[in-house]
Structure formats: structure tokens, C-alpha cells
């Protein structure tokens, strides 16, 4: 799929780096809805849950009555969770001292800050298996979660030092790292193409 103009992709905009995802989606020609209310989910074809602070996102989901609508949405439609978004998509958070309640949509367990706190943030190139071939992604790990367990139906697309950092399960995708801080839209295009395999001008609704 090369034409994204008929897609309307939501970006959860309660907290975090949602503006960078919006920037990349606009660069591909897609419409974007910043999601702050449950009713806005009815307008979009798919959703990105951005990085940020998972404890804050967790509290705001309840404050804005978004938790159950997000779970219902994710049972049917594509979601990509990046960094804190991966934490929120997970089934269980290990050493969950902050009491974050994940959405439980993906069969993965994670540990927050699994690659170190802010001071240990780093940039690296990752090799990822996208569309049947190997691709290099520029990845930023910022207080990134580490996957400690994944179910049999979860497919690993990229690893870092032996651990899965990019996974897919059905119509859901999660990455420990950020790619939206760069101008490279390779992973975003993979998410959209994987989710909406349709002819240009005939986007799925």
C-alpha cells in the first residue's frame, strides 16, 4: 500500500510524544485524529499509543473514561504501542511498583525501564524482518520496556541482545523503542501496510 490518504489514524494524545507520530502520519498523507475522548475512537481506522510516562497515561485513561473503549477498540482494530504504549498493551507488568494496570490486549509481559532509566537512553540500528526481508531501523531506547515473556501467537520481528523488542500479534504491534523521533517512516509504513492491505484509494473502514 502506498496511498494513505483515505486512512484516518488516531494517536492517543493524553501525554507523551504524540506530536511526533502525528508529524510522521501527516508526512505519509494520512489523516490524524488526536484521541482524548472515547467518542473520537469511532472516527479512526487504527490507533497509535505513543511513548511517555505509563503511570500518567494509566491514570488519565481512567480520568477520561477511555480504558474500556480502548480495550474494545483493540479487540477489533489495529493498534501500535511504542515504549509506554507497549507497556499499556501488555498482559502483565513485572515489578509493578507503580500499580499501572495494562490493557491486556497483547500476550506479553514486560518490565518497565528494562534497558535502564533516562540517563542510559541510547540510539542503535536494529535489523527487523519486515515484509519478508531484512530492514535496518533506527531505534531510540528511552526508559524502554523489556519483554520478559510472550505467548506462542506473538511473532518477534526484531531483537536487541537476544530479547524481542518489536512484536506483532494478530492486528496489534508493539515496540520497545521509538522510531518517530527520526524522519524515517519505515516502521510506520509497515504498520499501516500490514493493517490495511488494500488498493490505493480504497482504504478499509
Q: Which residues are catalytic?
A: 83, 178, 180
Name 59's Cβ contacts closer than 8 Å, sequence gap at least 6.
Answer: none
DSSP for residue 36 = -
DSSP for residue 30 = -
What is the grid cell recorded at 24? 510522521
Strand order in the sheet with 92-94: 92-94, 108-111, 146-150
- Confirm if 174 and 108 have CB atoms less than 8 A apart: yes
Number of alpha carbons in the 13 Å side-chain half-sphere of residue 87: 28
Helix-then-strand count for the chain, H and E: 5, 12
Distance CA 185, CA 190 (A): 9
Amino acid at each position: 500500500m502506498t496511498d494513505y490518504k483515505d486512512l484516518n489514524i488516531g494517536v492517543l494524545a493524553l501525554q507523551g510524544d504524540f506530536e511526533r507520530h502525528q508529524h510522521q502520519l501527516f508526512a505519509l498523507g494520512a489523516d490524524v485524529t488526536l484521541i482524548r475522548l472515547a467518542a473520537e475512537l469511532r472516527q479512526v481506522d487504527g490507533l497509535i499509543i505513543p511513548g511517555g510516562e505509563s503511570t500518567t497515561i494509566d491514570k488519565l485513561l481512567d480520568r477520561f473514561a477511555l480504558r474500556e473503549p480502548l480495550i474494545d477498540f483493540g479487540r477489533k482494530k489495529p493498534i501500535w504501542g511504542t515504549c509506554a504504549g507497549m507497556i499499556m498493551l501488555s498482559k502483565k507488568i513485572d515489578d509493578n511498583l507503580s500499580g499501572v494496570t495494562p490493557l491486556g490486549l497483547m500476550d506479553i509481559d514486560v518490565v518497565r525501564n528494562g534497558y535502564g532509566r533516562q540517563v542510559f537512553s541510547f540510539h542503535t540500528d536494529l535489523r527487523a524482518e519486515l515484509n519478508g526481508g531484512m530492514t535496518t531501523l533506527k531505534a531510540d531506547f528511552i526508559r524502554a520496556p523489556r519483554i520478559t515473556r510472550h505467548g506462542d501467537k506473538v511473532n518477534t520481528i526484531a531483537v536487541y541482545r537476544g530479547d524481542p523488542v518489536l512484536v506483532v500479534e494478530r492486528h496489534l504491534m508493539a515496540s520497545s523503542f521509538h522510531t518517530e523521533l527520526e524522519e524515517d517512516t519505515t516502521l510506520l509504513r509497515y504498520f499501516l501496510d500490514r493493517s490495511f492491505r488494500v488498493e490505493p484509494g480504497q482504504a478499509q473502514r
